[in-house]
Structure 1
Amino acid sequence: MTRQQVAAAAAALAATLAAAAAILSSLLYRRKCGGLATRVRELEASLAAATEKAAAERRGRVRAQQSLRRALSEQELSSDEKKKLAAKAPKSFPMASIGVVQSCFSTRNGTPRQPLVVPLARATVSLDPARVPAEALDGLVAYSHCWILYVFHLNTDLDKMWNDPARSKLKAKVRVPRLKGGKMGVLATRSPHRPNPIGLSVAKVEAVDGHSLLLSGVDLVDGTPVLDIKPYLPYSDSVKTAAIPDWLEFDDALAVESIHFSVHFISALSDCWKHVQSLYASPDEFQDLVKEVLSWDIRSLSQRVRPHHVTMESETDNSDSKISNGCRDDEDNRYVDPSTSVVYHLHLEGIDVSYRIDQNSNIVVENAALLPSIVNQRRYSYLTWREKVSTL
């Protein structure tokens, strides 16, 4: 054969081989597709059987529960059986704090009685990474407000509740500030001294960063343990037709007449500001916070009825110095009106703010001083929020 004939024969053979390979590949692909289709049908059948089995089991459990409820309702239990059932009922539940509050309010005194009444009141909530991952906060920043469930950890009766529950008798009625000493059922008030020391507050969500969130309008004291955080839903959490008793209708019942800042306070605050780490950008903004807090008379009922000296130590321990309604000036032995001689203290951001209030509810803020505990304390977590706060 000639060279041309050999080349033609080789080309024909190559074409034949390629065609055979294509046919073989097509057959293998079809076989593989057929096998996969069979496997998919088998898995679908298995899933349908499992689903039906689970549904049948659920129907069986429902029928058994219904039968049990009918049997219990038809059978009168003896007193012993009732006691056994009561003994098996859970008396406590697995619950622990998921985070802690770092608030502008250093102590209970001055912390607002209700949320949102002091819009400038800020706090951060730092979640425990071991209990709550950072992803749990995803989406919360899209809400304007959230609910905070927490523990009244500074209640003075907590030790009795833990160590000797039999002695920690619940006070059915408590004194209400707006009623000027009048009593109301504890469950009809927001008193922190409750059957279980659980608090509920709404706050404005300002920012979220990792395991922490920044809130404003808070009524939470520094160090408060947080139990849960839930978004505020206006369509279900706000009741437009809600009614309140008449004694809550008077919004100005605890309002003060005026607030004035002395020159000495402004100078002392400027000196203190050099030593504190704060969520507030400047002394002027901090002064605005003081004004908002003191716009409502934060004194206890006993302090308003019988003015008495309140030092930093007695305020922290929630104990009152006992003096008469009138006192004498040691220098000239004359009578002094206690409403103008008494100095009260408000602790904010580690600063002790002292002020006086007269009988007409006019306040003069006199001095600012660093609390002893703040001198060596650096609130590093606050620093991470400074840039965010500046944009609020």
Structure 2
Amino acid sequence: MARQQVAAAATLAALAAAAGVLSSQLYKQKCRRLAERIRELEASLAAATEKAAAERRGRVRVQQSLRSALSEQERSSDGDNRKNLSKSPKSFPMASIGVVQSCFSTRNGTPRQPLVVPLARATVMLDPSRVPAAALEGLADYSHCWIIYVFHLNTDLDKMWNDPARSKLKAKVRVPRLKGGKMGVLATRSPHRPNPIGLSVAKVEAVDGHSILLSGVDLVDGTPVLDIKPYLPYSDGVKAAAIPNWLEVDGALSVESIQFSEHFISALSDCWMHVQKQSLYASADEFRALVKEVLSWDIRSLSQRIRPHEVTIKDVTDNGISKTDIGCSNDEDHQLVDPSTSVVYHLHLEGIDVSYRIVQDSNILVENAALLSTAVNQHRYSYLTWKEKWAGRAADGKMVESLDP
């Protein structure tokens, strides 16, 4: 019996030893396979890295060759530089990175300069395929930013792009503050420029993913955005900057007073029920404050402002004012009217058509509000979308005024 027990114990010991040896061998094989796999992955990574580096070296060589060829072309054309450059102008690849959703539906009423209408709001919607959300990290820490964009509603764009040979630069443009007087285009902020590129500063109210809420904007709805840069007070704000005398004229475009009729207030209340969920404004009262800020500057076109007090119906209609607004039929084209009492002007904001008259000199009476057909079912960032982030930014002390009126 004792011998059997000893034999069994020896057998178990032998089996345990064999199992240990086998386990050790399996572990070593597994380690060898893992080591081989690691070497394979390292070799693959090294090959991919070398391939990427080779591709980059190739692109650099091509870019250098292109720049060299362009420089050679310029040097070879020095003899008649002006002629050759006009025939074969340089171009640079650019594409918009986003679009503006603005409270201004049309060019008419959009401020001529940024920050003059603090309540003017817009959302910049960036294209996720071109601009990752990480690109906006840190932008909310600035109070203001620069928006570089395209004047996409210029009436001369088709000619500039489709027939550039016939598109000649207008050296001088009419300036509103000079009441029709002309100034060199490069000494003005005119949208009709050698290239239809605009530059505007705006207040950063909030950032959400690929979207930026701005205020104080002078951007019309649908504006393509080319780039966004932070505003740096120490370099962008020049304390000793000087401007010409014609820009220092006090009250050149100011309005004496703005009054709202009872009918407008009632009509606005009806319209607000339809647009409030899509508006960037918290209430009808805040929207009315926006209207007042916009109209506190004379937003009429230059041709409307410089006309004599008595104008023909044909002149009025050519400036976008319908004959029904002036109560006239087609056979009265040469009748004279007084625009201070007869002409109805229109301002489109947030899907609402605001109509007003200039009743005496620079006194404005806002008469009516009507819902635009484009106001319904628009997919836009609204006050409700931004409210929480705006409130959080205010709590952090990064904005002075509150979103609520």
**CA 1:128–1:16: 2 relative to 1, 3 Å:** closer
Q: 1:148 Cα shift?
A: 2.9
For 1:169 and 1:157, locate their aligned partners in 2 and report how far apart those are by CA, in whole Å.
10
Q: Could you tell me whether the CA contact under 8 Å between 1:102 and 1:222 is conserved in 2?
A: yes
**CA 1:101–1:30: 2 relative to 1, 3 Å:** closer
Q: State the partner residue of 2:242.
A: 244
Q: State the partner residue of 1:156.
A: 155
**CA 1:341–1:126: 2 relative to 1, 3 Å:** same
Question: TM-score of the superposition, structure 2-length normalised?
Answer: 0.69
For 1:84 and 1:154, locate their aligned partners in 2 and report how far apart those are by CA, in whole Å.
30
Q: Could you tell me whether the CA contact under 8 Å between 2:180 and 2:306 is conserved in 1?
A: no
Written as runs of structure 1 = structure 2, the 5 A alignment for 1:213-252 is 213-224=212-223, 226-234=224-232, 238-241=236-239, 243-247=241-245, 248-249=247-248, 252=251
Q: Give the stretch that moved more between structures: 163-172 or 82-91.
A: 82-91
Q: State the partner residue of 2:255.
A: 256
Written as runs of structure 1 = structure 2, the 5 A alignment for 1:336-355 is 339=340, 343-349=344-350, 350-355=352-357
Q: Could you tell me whether the CA contact under 8 Å between 2:264 and 2:369 is conserved in 1?
A: no
**CA 1:281–1:315: 2 relative to 1, 3 Å:** farther
Paired residues in the alignment total: 367
RMSD: 4.9
Q: 1:354 Cα shift?
A: 0.6
**CA 1:110–1:254: 2 relative to 1, 3 Å:** same
Q: 1:285 Cα shift?
A: 0.8
Q: Could you tell me whether the CA contact under 8 Å between 1:351 and 1:369 is conserved in 2?
A: yes
For 1:89 and 1:167, locate their aligned partners in 2 and report how far apart those are by CA, in whole Å.
14
- Segments of structure 2 that go 5 or more residues without pairing to the other structure are 323-336, 389-402
- Secondary structure of the equivalent of 2:379? helix
Structure 2: which amino acid aligns with 1:294?
Answer: L
Structure 1 residues 333-371: Cα deviation after superposition (integer angstroms, max 9, x where no partner): xxx986566544333222223132533x4x332312316
Identity of aligned residues (%): 59
Q: Could you tell me whether the CA contact under 8 Å between 2:281 and 2:382 is conserved in 1?
A: no
Q: Could you tell me whether the CA contact under 8 Å between 1:148 and 1:202 is conserved in 2?
A: yes
Q: State the partner residue of 2:391.
A: none
For 2:194 and 2:85, locate their aligned partners in 1 and report how far apart those are by CA, in whole Å.
20
Q: State the partner residue of 1:5.
A: 6
Q: Could you tell me whether the CA contact under 8 Å between 2:353 and 2:369 is conserved in 1?
A: yes
Q: Could you tell me whether the CA contact under 8 Å between 1:310 and 1:344 is conserved in 2?
A: no
**CA 1:101–1:164: 2 relative to 1, 3 Å:** same
Structure 1: which amino acid aligns with 2:378?
Answer: Y
Structure 2: which amino acid aligns with 1:351?
Answer: D
For 1:243 and 1:166, locate their aligned partners in 2 and report how far apart those are by CA, in whole Å.
37
For 1:375 and 1:385, locate their aligned partners in 2 and report how far apart those are by CA, in whole Å.
18
For 1:220 and 1:183, locate their aligned partners in 2 and report how far apart those are by CA, in whole Å.
24
Q: 1:109 Cα shift?
A: 1.9
Q: 1:193 Cα shift?
A: 1.0
Q: State the partner residue of 1:378.
A: 376
**CA 1:232–1:355: 2 relative to 1, 3 Å:** farther
Structure 2: which amino acid aligns with 1:114?
Answer: Q
- Segments of structure 1 that go 5 or more residues without pairing to the other structure are 322-335
Q: Could you tell me whether the CA contact under 8 Å between 2:340 and 2:357 is conserved in 1?
A: no
Q: Could you tell me whether the CA contact under 8 Å between 1:268 and 1:367 is conserved in 2?
A: no
Structure 2: which amino acid aligns with 1:354?
Answer: Y
Q: 1:114 Cα shift?
A: 1.0
